Amino acid sequence: MNKKGTTKDRGENLQPDTSRRRFLAGAMAGASVTAISAIGSNKVLGSDAATEHSIKIPEEFGMAAKAAPAKVDFPMSGAQVFARVCKDEGLAALFCCPGNYNVINAIAEEGIPAYSGRHEGAMCHAADAFIRVTGEIAASSGTEGPGFMDMICAIASANAARTPLLVLASNMSIYTEDTESGIQLAYQQPTTEGLKKYGKRLITPSRIHEYATYAFRQLRSGVPRPVHIDFPSEVYRAKFKSPADLVYYYDRSKYRTESRPNPAPKDIRAAVDMLKRAQRPIIVSSNGVFYSRGWEALRKFAEKAQIPVAESGAMKGQFPDDNPLSANAAPAALPSADVVVLVGQHCMPTVGEFAFGPEARYIRIDPCAEDIGRNLPIDLGIVSCEKAALEALAEEMPSMKHDAWVAEVAAARKKFDDELDLLYKTGSSYKDAVHPAVIAKELADFIYNGDLPKEQTSVASGGYGIARYTRRWLRGYRPGQIMNGAYQWGAIGPDVGYAVGVAAAVKNGISVQAAHKGHPVICVTGDAGFGYTAMEMETLSKYRLPVIVIVYNNNSWGTWSGNRESSVTSSLHLFQENLRYDKIAEAVGAHGEYVTRPEDFRAALQRCYRIAATESIPSVINCQAKKEFWLREQYPPGSLGKVEPGCMSYYH
Amino acid sequence: MVRDNLKEYADRGIFRGFCEEQAGKTRVSFSFLWLTPRRVHLIVDTAKGSMTFKDLLPNVPSKSVIQKDIKRFLKERYDDRLPEHRRVDSKRGEIACTNRRGVLSLSLKVKGEQYRYCLVKIVNLAHELFVHLGDYHDDYMCQNFEARQE
């Protein structure tokens, strides 16, 4: 039986609680600051020597939890001035590796929750994920040269996902530019060309406050993308005796506006006219609905006009999947739509990428006129904040009935559910390894159809081949519930990094995660992906972030099936077989499970969940599969494709 | 009429690079880019009363799993359980699928001068076929239509 939601407040008006004391207290909750080896199957206990060398969380974490934020005032360094703007702007978290010391220390000392991990790229992914499940701004930081370069894939991922990510990196000194003096000199800004909305190498110390405001103006307006600021030492070490030493030292109300573009009334009337004539209209809700916090307006509009809604984008859950109008898991209905309202679809598909048919007409709502009409031809463009447009449509649209169309969507949902049952039945018939359909179905049953409230568990949905299955079963019942990992950029490997960000948001109840604060988080990944960011299991463990990482271990890259014919090259797509990723987890302070039979998966998941919930300890469930599961002729149904938009979508 | 209706898709931006070529006294070949990077060719033959997406799907071995699935999918388009706007009325048009040396063409035999009806149906049929292939045969789409493997 499903449990009902625990709160009526869906978080639209919640502000992030970003105090460092609260964050650290949460991070340490349930965790001993001494030995943590008495977990799961980690069996190093049993002798004094083993205890002495058992995994410990350093006492500095406990001390940090008790420390009050530093009171910083003039005279201030450039780094401190920048950090002050971050604090004033509500920067919700920092994810970094050591480096860019002055800046990250100044940000942490302002009381902004700061997490330090094992790889700048993974921590940058963490920041991206944190933003995608909270709607708040987070920062990522790396040191000069190598640390910054480690973040590139993550910056690109955030850029593709249209994430308002603040990227910070130190950059040696202006004095040594072009000399190759010492080490780690790099031109940073050209490196992020095409991967950001705005970027600046700060060169004039007295303008640091001004450029900090540039950054937040860009992050908090229009269609978001990363902002990249790099700090030469002349700037972050500069000393300012008073505000008078700074050029453009203004209050927030003077350097940016909270005003948002509202739709032109004639555009709303035109949209209403189109929708009144439509027989099978549909709304596609994407990123912009989440970032503008427009989900309540979306629901009112959809329900008033009885228009089904499918989701796409970098996060899901703005329109609950249990609403009778949800078309998220109704792919067969999509080609029937005759008018499609695309709201906040910041990354547009081209013709043919969405399943809507050739007769469909498109209304696109977006805050940026310059993107409207790109890729997909429009019949009506509305320049507006998504929430404002949805409110206007909810107001202007008459109550309508599309009963036949809603029935068609319901029938398509039923058809899809029947297909899922068939996939599970087939998958569970393979007994010598764990089929992806078993993982997907059992996971969905556990988090949605068991004892847990179905809206409780946030998911970092990643992986490649496994994701083609799990996405079909995963559902969103409230904003920020699903972080759509591979969205658009399709990187393999960020998933454990993403889990750090999602778990940090949930652990501290930031923004829309407030009602679900502290609950365990699920991360889905593959063995290829796990290899990239596995060391962040240590980050999860040391911060006591209770994530259950499900690793689909089929001994290969997802590319093997398409490249297996050549005896020369097929080995390029393979790993050693039966690798023990669960042991890696145990080695860094997490719990590990190795599941080799389908019937054992559910019990392992329950054990991991219990450990996560009661001890705040992360886990890896290493699910032993086989690469041949992707071969349709040998193990039907083999690898699966996708239909977008809806629960399967991740390209757009 | 067929020409005007096809051109309307092009004017709306659904078809790109739209052009036509007389391929005989009663045959016109319309060509355009649409769902994939491969140009498609729709041949309308008024003497035979047919519309054909010629060589629509390459590398479909006859009697293969994918060919059987495509034929099943096409047969289902007549199914009364489909909504009317998604169904092909066999009294107005008849679906045919031919495989020549592993290259599959999709046709609709026009009945009773129902050219407009059949044009809309065959265009939508091709669209739905590609949606279906993307869902269940992504490996085929990767290998033949530059769909991304990731």
B63–chain A Cβ distance below 8 A for any pair: no
What pLDDT does A19 receive? 56
pTM: 0.93
Nearest by CB to A642, from B16, B127, B134: name it.
B134
With 90 as the cut, is the pLDDT of residue A69 above it?
no
Half-sphere exposure of A564 (CA within 13 A, CB side): 13
Does A335 contact B127 at a Cβ distance shorter than 8 Å?
yes
Q: What is the mean pLDDT of residues A95-104?
A: 96
What confidence tier does A67 reach under pLDDT thresholds 50, 70, 90? confident
What pLDDT does A13 receive? 44
What is the rounded CA–CA span in Å between residue A501 and residue A126?
4
What pLDDT does A5 receive? 38
Task: Find the residue in B nearest to A338 (Cα).
Answer: B85
> The dihedral of CA A308, B125, A488, A535: what is its sign?
positive
Taking only the tens place, the pLDDT of each residue in A330-343 is 999 999 999 999 99
Question: When comparing pLDDT for A53 and A593, which is higher?
Answer: A593
**For residue A75, cis peptide bond before it (omega within 30 degrees of 0):** yes
Q: What is the mean pLDDT of residues A38-61?
A: 70
What confidence tier does A57 reach under pLDDT thresholds 50, 70, 90? very high
Task: Find the residue in A nearest to B138 (Cα).
Answer: A641
The residue among B127, B140, B144, B148 with the most chain A CBs within 10 A of its CB, best to mutate, is B127
What confidence tier does A49 reach under pLDDT thresholds 50, 70, 90? low
Task: Find the residue in B nearest to A355 (Cα).
Answer: B131
What ipTM was estimated for this complex?
Answer: 0.96
Nearest by CB to A352, from B35, B124, B136: name it.
B35
Mean pLDDT is lowest, of A24-28, A170-174, A273-277, A554-558, for A24-28
Query: Which of chain A's residues have a Cβ under 8 Å away from the Cβ of B131?
Result: 331, 334-335, 355, 643
What confidence tier does A15 reach under pLDDT thresholds 50, 70, 90? very low
Mean pLDDT of chain A, nearest integer? 92
Inside any domain, residue B134:
yes
Q: Please name which of A537, A483, A549, A488 lies closest in space to residue A513, comparing C-alpha atoms.
A: A483
Query: Which of chain A's residues have a Cβ under 8 Å away from the Cβ of B127?
Result: 335, 352, 357-358
Inside any domain, residue B63:
yes
- The contacts of residue A298 (CB under 8 Å, 6+ apart) are A283, A285, A289, A309, A318, A319, A343, A390
A457, two tokens: 């568990």
What confidence tier does A631 reach under pLDDT thresholds 50, 70, 90? very high
Query: Which of chain B's residues have a Cβ under 8 Å away from the Cβ of A558?
Result: 149-150
Does B14 contact A377 at a Cβ distance shorter than 8 Å?
yes
What pLDDT does A36 receive? 47
Taking only the tens place, the pLDDT of each residue in A152-206 is 999 999 999 999 999 999 999 999 999 999 899 889 999 999 999 999 999 999 9
CB contacts < 8 Å between A and B, how many? 78
Residue A359, Ramachandran bin (φ over 0: left; ψ between -120 and 50: alpha; else beta): alpha
Q: How many CB atoms lie within 10 A of CB A81?
A: 25
Inside any domain, residue B118:
yes
Query: At A305, which helix (H) or strand (E)?
Result: helix A295-305
What confidence tier does A370 reach under pLDDT thresholds 50, 70, 90? very high
Which residues make beta-bridge pairs with A300? none
CB A237 within 8 Å of CB A272: no
Q: What is the mean pLDDT of residues A405-425?
A: 98
Query: At A382, which helix (H) or strand (E)?
Result: strand A380-383
Q: Which domain holds residue B15?
A: 2-145
With 60 as the cut, is the pLDDT of residue A29 above it?
no
What pLDDT does A532 receive? 97
- Helix, strand, coil shares, percent, chain A, to 5: 40, 15, 45
A374–chain B Cβ distance below 8 A for any pair: no
Inside any domain, residue B112:
yes
Smallest CA–CA separation between A640 and chain B, in Å? Answer: 6
Question: When comparing pLDDT for B77 and A563, which is higher?
Answer: B77
What pLDDT does A502 receive? 98
What confidence tier does A70 reach under pLDDT thresholds 50, 70, 90? confident
Inside any domain, residue B150:
no
With 70 as the cut, is the pLDDT of residue B150 above it?
no
What pLDDT does A7 receive? 37
Task: State the pairing for strand pair A281-285/A339-343.
Answer: parallel
Mean pLDDT is lowest, of A121-130, A278-287, B138-147, for B138-147
Taking only the tens place, the pLDDT of each residue in A495-510 is 999 999 999 999 999 9
Inside any domain, residue B140:
yes
Where are the alpha helices (H) located in A435-533, listed in sequence order? 436-448, 465-473, 495-507, 527-533
Nearest by CB to A643, from B135, B139, B148: name it.
B135
Cα A484 to the center of its chain, rounded Å: 6
What pLDDT does A66 receive? 81
Inside any domain, residue B11:
yes
- How much of chain A exceeds pLDDT 70, in percent? 92
Q: What is the mean pLDDT of residues B51-72?
A: 95
Does A377 contact B12 at a Cβ distance shorter than 8 Å?
yes
Q: What is the mean pLDDT of residues A257-277?
A: 97
Nearest by CB to B9, from A335, A358, A490: name it.
A358
Q: Please name which of A440, A453, A446, A475 lies closest in space to residue A321, comparing C-alpha atoms.
A: A475
Domains: count for chain B: 1
With 90 as the cut, is the pLDDT of residue A581 above it?
yes
- Kindly report the CATH number assigned to the domain that includes residue B27: 3.30.1460
Classify A197 as helix, strand or coil: coil
Mean pLDDT of chain B, nearest integer? 94
B120–chain A Cβ distance below 8 A for any pair: yes
DSSP A41: T
CA distances from B32 to A262, A354, A376, B14, B17 (A): 38, 19, 16, 10, 5
CB A119 within 8 Å of CB A531: no
What is the rounded CA–CA span in Å between residue A593 and residue A217?
46
What confidence tier does A38 reach under pLDDT thresholds 50, 70, 90? very low
Query: Which of chain B's residues have a Cβ under 8 Å away from the Cβ of A464?
Result: 150
Q: Please name which of A436, A547, A512, A522 lies closest in space to residue A7, comparing C-alpha atoms.
A: A512
What is the rounded CA–CA span in Å between residue A529 and residue A552?
9
Does A632 contact B138 at a Cβ distance shorter than 8 Å?
no
A237, two tokens: 């070490």
